[in-house]
Amino acid sequence: MSFNVLAVAAHFDDAELGCGGTLALHAGRGDRVHLYVATRSDYADMDKRQIRSAETARKEGRAAARILGVKLLEGHHETFHLRYDDDLVSELRGIIERERIDTVYLPWTGDAHQDHRAVSRAALTAARHCQRLLMYRINYYDSEERFEPRFYVDTTRTMARKLRALRAHDSEMKRIGGKWLEYVTQDERNNGIKLGVGYAEAFQAVRYLI
């Protein structure tokens, strides 16, 4: 059984963090895999000093997509200003219908980041007819909701590729001192220990048709 997969993300590096190993698995077995990134992903600090340019984010995102073996679809929304509105829903719905998507990976709706929440809600609306919807967690920040995964993917064979894809986001890895790499490695190793495998990515299922 082959899948037409769409991973939805607000920023370059979101999907790599939350479901990069799973996307690499899909690509490795011949599934069609698209990764849509909604924003240009440039941003500045509170004093308006640029931390990451759109050009840098795009270059790193394209490199990461090549490592995972997925087709990158670049949106052009402004970072920190994503809105759950008709424009974003229509953009996602167009991709889903055009590419005949049946499986969607989207950010967890309870995420603490406003862009992640907006694109997640838009994806839920746009993908309401898709057979499989799985939410992934991007970061370790707490919110008023609790991420409760009940669906896991054994990513033992693709963990190294996921980490390579994350390292392709060199500007972010340098900014945070590699903490994301440490976090995802430990988190997915813990999942693997629970499940009797090497590493596993965790998802909260909206629905999943077999």
Which positions of the chain have pLDDT values less than 50?
Answer: none
pTM for this one? 0.96
- The pLDDT value given to residue 194: 97
Give 123-151 pLDDT, tens digit per residue.
Answer: 999 999 999 999 999 988 889 899 999 99
* Count of CB atoms situated within 10 Å of the CB of 186: 10
> What's the pLDDT score for residue 121?
98
Which residues neighbour 210 within 8 Å (Cβ) at sequence distance 6 or greater? none
* Among the listed residues 143, 140, 147, the one whose alpha carbon sits nearest the alpha carbon of residue 179: 140
User: What is the structure's pLDDT at 141?
Assistant: 87
Domains along the chain? 4-208 (3.40.50.10320)
pLDDT at 182: 94
Give the closest residue to 208 by CA, choosing from 105, 55, 70: 105
CB atoms within 10 A of CB 210: 5
Q: Are 103 and 4 in contact (CB under 8 A)?
A: yes
